[in-house]
Structures are given as C-alpha cells and as structure tokens.
Amino acid sequence: MAREYKQTEAGRIPKAWEVVELEDKITLEYGKGLSEKERKGGKFPVFGSNGVVGYHSSSLVSAPGIIVGRKGTIGAINWSDTDFWPIDTTYYVVLKDKEIDLKWLYYKLIALKLNRLNTATGTHGLNRDNAYSIEIGFPPVSEQKAIANYLLDIGEKLSLQKFKKQKLEKVKKCLMNELLTGKKRIKGA
C-alpha cells in the first residue's frame, strides 16, 4: 500500500501526521546555576550546553531527559538516562503532551538544528520563543516509537562499527611501527 503525503508549512509529511508548533508539545525550562566549586561529586551528571561537565550529589531533573544548549554551544542536544542537573547555560525539556515518545523527540530536536536560531549578539544564545515557533510534522505516538527504535538500532550499529574501526587503527599503527622499523618482516619480500 502506497503511503499518501501532504504538503504543509512543515514540509511534505504523511497524511496521518499533524503539524504542530513545538510550543504545543513541550516547554524549555531554564537550568539552574551550579558552579564547579559547589559541585560535590556524586552520581548525578551535571550538564552544560555541550554535555556532561561534572557530577553532583543531587539532581534537579528526573530521568530520562533531554538537555538543550542555551548559551555557548547553542542548540546542542544531549540525552540523560539518569537523573541530572542542567546548569544555567542550558534548557531541559518538559513535555506538555503525554503522547510523545521522548527518544523520538530527542532525535527530532537534533534534526531541527536549533543552533541556526542563534539571535544573540556577542554571547551566543538560544531564544526559546524562536524554538517554540518551529512547526514540525508530528506522527502518532506508535509511529514515534517505531522511528525512535529504528534510529536507536542504527546508532548502536554505528557505535559497534566505530569501536571495530578504532581497534583496527591500533593494530595498523602497531604493525606500521614493527614493519617500518624492521622488527617484523614480511615473508617473501
């Protein structure tokens, strides 16, 4: 059965999807300051605008969660499987709608390339009102889950291939050293 599409403000999307503004589905909440000196170590990751910047003994947000770079590395999207503390250079995502698969939303936010919304002069910054006005194609939650699972599977396969590549690069480097210094010889050469 051929899938039918429609042309919308958000682009060409399947007919079963709706078009929504991001603000209809989520809020971007400000992180809270926590200087390096105040961090007490511990098991909870502290997220800055470009990922984990330390650990603390308590969390601010329950997992799982999405962290969005607000200042510095604006629009960078990070995921946390554990409770976490987003600092004041970030936003964290709060769902307005329970019919959203959080992992799908994570991938969708990456695809939106929020870094293009930088409006600050001098210091880079992401204005959440600009992000809220973005119109997106919004599939039913069952399709969101299927998309997220598919992308997660591909991500795991890529990680495995990256690991294998790193191992082969180490072997090659070691062999280069041994062959190019004469420590190891090739038979018949």
The pLDDT confidence band at residue 135, using thresholds 50, 70 and 90, is: very high
The pLDDT confidence band at residue 187, using thresholds 50, 70 and 90, is: confident
The confidence score (pLDDT) of residue 122 equals 57
The confidence score (pLDDT) of residue 189 equals 73
The confidence score (pLDDT) of residue 117 equals 85
Instruction: Check pLDDT > 70 for residue 126.
Output: yes
May I ask the CATH architecture of the domain 13-139?
A: Alpha-Beta Complex (3.90)
Maximal C-alpha separation, the chain: 71
Element (DSSP H or E) covering residue 171: helix 141-180
- Global pTM value: 0.83
Who's near 34: CB < 8 A, 6+ residues apart? Answer: 46, 56, 85, 87, 88
Read off the pLDDT of each residue in 41-65 and give the average, rounded to a whole number.
96
The confidence score (pLDDT) of residue 96 equals 96
The confidence score (pLDDT) of residue 184 equals 87
In angstroms, rounded to a whole number, what is the distance separating the alpha carbons of residues 73 and 67? Answer: 12
Instruction: Check pLDDT > 90 for residue 95.
Output: yes
Read off the pLDDT of each residue in 52-60 and give the average, rounded to a whole number.
97
The confidence score (pLDDT) of residue 145 equals 97
- What residue segments make up the domains of the chain, in order of their start? 13-139, 140-184
- 87 by Cβ neighbours in 10 Å (0-12 / 13-18 / 19+) ranks as buried
The confidence score (pLDDT) of residue 123 equals 57
